[in-house]
Amino acid sequence: MPMLTRPSAKTGRAKAIAYRSPRNTKARSASEAAWKLNLDSSYQSDQFADNANTSAESADGSTGKIPGYIVFSSRAAYDFGP
C-alpha cells in the first residue's frame, strides 16, 4: 500500500498516512460505425484514516473511518472522418 504524508496537527512535521488506490475497476466499450461508447466504474472500499485503524473520528479527520464509494464515467464519441 503506498504511503502519503501530511503535516501533523500537533507538530507540523510530516506524518505517514496510508492510501489505497481504487479497486474493482470495470470498463466496457462499444462501437457502431462512426460511434464509440465507453462506460467505466471504479469502487473504493471503506478504509481508515490512520495506520492504527482507529474507528473514533477526530475533528481534523486524522482518525476515523473513510466510507467507500463508487464512481461511474461515460463517454460518447463520433468520428466525423478525415
Q: Is residue 44 part of a domain?
A: yes
Note whether residue 6 is domain-resident.
no
Number of domains comprising the chain: 1
Q: pLDDT tens, position by position, for the chain (82 residues)?
A: 444 555 555 666 666 656 666 677 888 999 999 999 999 998 888 888 888 888 888 888 888 888 889 999 999 999 998 8
Q: Is residue 70 domain-resident?
A: yes
**For the purposes of burial, counting CB atoms within 10 Å of the CB of 39, is it exposed (0-12), middle (13-18) or buried (19 or more)?**
middle
Q: What does each C-alpha distance from 16 to 4, 12, 27, 72 come to in angstroms?
A: 6, 12, 32, 30
In a domain, 14, yes or no: no
Task: Name the residue range of residue 42's domain.
Answer: 24-78
| pTM score | 0.55
| Partners of residue 26 on adjacent β-strands | 41
Contact 56, 18 (CB under 8 A): no
For residue 71, being part of any structural domain is answered with yes
Residue 45 lies in a domain: yes
